[in-house]
């Protein structure tokens, strides 16, 4: 495992960043500033930050690799990469409202700065833009890429819908939770890993192999993210410590702990069902209980298993060796647990 960002990710950001900015110019000024703020290009007043782009731009890097896996230069994957990044950020803009999150990437979330209405609209605009970009290439493979993205968006929405529904339930099973993570996170990752290849007309076996790799990486990533949501340091996650417990999120380690049939799991359920705000002491105790109930270990093992499955897909899919190593480096980078 590596903790330094693979070189390909920064290179992808340099290649895709200008395209992202160019497409943003299609938005009306009122909407554009909110999207540009969210993406890290400008501050709340619209002044350029000088940053290439906020976020790690992992999905664009995967999309460019995906075009290269099909033997095309990365440039041919740029539109698909930008489209995937727009969809990812559409969902972040809306999720931050739904989850009442006030901070993202160490900055106030867009809705806290510009209002809920403006943030909803900026998300809508990015979703529409993403679809628009892909169908501006009317070739059959362009349309296939658009359909691939559209299918991922449907699953993303289904996953977020399940996540919201889980908040009101105390009988969520681990299977439901895994399904939700598959929809909410893994589907778009699978799309990112295959859309570049699809867009250049790659054979179905390659597209399917890459999508399989992406789906497993996506689950490994979500498990890692859920672990960081409890045990991650704020300077790494960009969120307050134990944020997911504070929000009583039914994340994977929590549901594993709740459903494991242990005494600690039962206590955890009681703690999370307590009305009112949870104190720092409660949160510390909650984290301990997740661990005692086996939720942490389960999530760590499952993340490792998903990463292994991803690497198996990668090994079994034909592509240039340098592309394969770069895919593997990103997979390992985004599943490292810096807690």
Give the interface with a copy of itself as residue ranges (CB under 8 A): 26-28, 30-31, 90, 94, 97-99, 115-118, 120-121, 123-125, 127-129, 131-132, 135-136, 138, 140, 143-144, 146-147, 150-151, 153-154, 157-158, 160-162, 164-165, 183
- Using CB atoms within 10 A of its CB, is residue 103 exposed (0-12), middle (13-18) or buried (19+)? middle
The distance of closest approach from Cβ of residue 95 to a copy of itself in the complex, given in angstroms and rounded to an integer, is: 9
The distance of closest approach from Cβ of residue 6 to a copy of itself in the complex, given in angstroms and rounded to an integer, is: 31
- What phi, psi does 264 have (nearest 5°)? -60, -40
DSSP 233: -
CB of 147 closer than 8 Å to CB of 195: no
Closer to a copy of itself by Cβ: residue 10 or 128: 128
Closer to a copy of itself by Cβ: residue 27 or 323: 27
Closer to a copy of itself by Cβ: residue 19 or 118: 118
Q: Residue 44: how many CB atoms within 10 A of its CB? A: 14
Q: At what angle do helices 204-231 and 187-199 cross, to 10 degrees?
A: 150
Closer to a copy of itself by Cβ: residue 176 or 288: 176
Closer to a copy of itself by Cβ: residue 90 or 298: 90
How far is residue 290 from each of residues 56, 170, 180, 237, 257, measured CA to CA in Å? 29, 16, 20, 19, 5
Closer to a copy of itself by Cβ: residue 150 or 262: 150
The distance of closest approach from Cβ of residue 201 to a copy of itself in the complex, given in angstroms and rounded to an integer, is: 14
The distance of closest approach from Cβ of residue 312 to a copy of itself in the complex, given in angstroms and rounded to an integer, is: 29
The distance of closest approach from Cβ of residue 72 to a copy of itself in the complex, given in angstroms and rounded to an integer, is: 21
CB of 9 closer than 8 Å to CB of 58: yes
**Given the DSSP bridges, would you call strands 107-108 and 103-104 parallel, antiparallel or unpaired?**
antiparallel
Closer to a copy of itself by Cβ: residue 121 or 255: 121
The three-state DSSP-derived secondary structure of 21-73 is HHHHCCCCHHHHHHHHHHCCCECCCCCECCCCCCCCCHHHHHHHHHHHHCCCC
The distance of closest approach from Cβ of residue 44 to a copy of itself in the complex, given in angstroms and rounded to an integer, is: 14
Which single residue is written with the structure tokens 């942490």? 296
d(CA 174, CA 250): 10
The distance of closest approach from Cβ of residue 156 to a copy of itself in the complex, given in angstroms and rounded to an integer, is: 9
The distance of closest approach from Cβ of residue 31 to a copy of itself in the complex, given in angstroms and rounded to an integer, is: 4
Q: Residue 173: how many CB atoms within 10 A of its CB? A: 11
Task: Classify the C-alpha dihedral 226-232-236-238 as positive or negative.
Answer: positive
Name the H helices within 293-334: 295-316, 321-334
Closer to a copy of itself by Cβ: residue 52 or 98: 98
Closer to a copy of itself by Cβ: residue 190 or 257: 190
d(CA 189, CA 195): 10
The distance of closest approach from Cβ of residue 87 to a copy of itself in the complex, given in angstroms and rounded to an integer, is: 10
Which single residue is written with the structure tokens 């908040």? 167
């Amino acid at each position: 495992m590596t903790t330094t960002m693979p070189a390909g990710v920064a290179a992808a950001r340099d290649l895709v960043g200008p395209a992202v900015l160019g497409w943003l110019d299609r938005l009306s000024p009122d909407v554009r500033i909110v999207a540009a703020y969210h993406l890290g290009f400008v501050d709340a007043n619209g002044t350029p930050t000088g940053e290439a782009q906020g976020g790690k731009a992992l999905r664009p890097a995967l999309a460019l690799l995906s075009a290269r896996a099909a033997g095309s230069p990365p440039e041919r994957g740029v539109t698909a990469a930008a489209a995937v990044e727009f969809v990812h950020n559409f969902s972040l803009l809306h999720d931050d409202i739904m989850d009442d999150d006030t901070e993202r990437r160490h900055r106030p979330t867009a809705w806290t700065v510009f209002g809920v209405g403006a943030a909803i609209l900026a998300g809508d605009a990015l979703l529409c833009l993403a679809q628009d970009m892909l169908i501006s290439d009317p070739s059959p493979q362009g349309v296939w890429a658009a359909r691939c993205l559209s299918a991922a968006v449907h699953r993303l929405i289904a996953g977020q819908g399940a996540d919201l529904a889980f908040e009101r339930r105390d009988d969520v099973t681990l299977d439901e939770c895994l399904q939700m993570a598959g929809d909410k996170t893994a589907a778009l990752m699978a799309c990112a890993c295959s859309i570049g290849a699809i867009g250049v007309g790659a054979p179905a076996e390659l597209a399917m192999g890459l999508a399989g790799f992406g789906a497993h990486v996506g689950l490994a990533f979500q498990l890692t993210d859920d672990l960081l949501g409890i045990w991650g340091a704020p300077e790494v996650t960009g969120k307050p410590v134990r944020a997911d417990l504070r929000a009583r999120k039914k994340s994977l380690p929590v549901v594993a702990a709740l459903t494991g049939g242990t005494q600690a799991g039962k206590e955890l359920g009681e703690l999370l069902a307590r009305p009112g705000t949870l104190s720092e002491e409660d949160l510390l105790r909650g984290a301990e209980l997740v661990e005692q109930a086996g939720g942490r270990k389960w999530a760590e093992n499952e993340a490792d298993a998903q990463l292994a499955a991803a690497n198996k897909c990668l090994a079994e899919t034909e592509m240039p060796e340098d592309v394969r190593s770069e895919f593997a480096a990103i997979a390992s980078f985004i599943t490292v647990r810096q807690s």
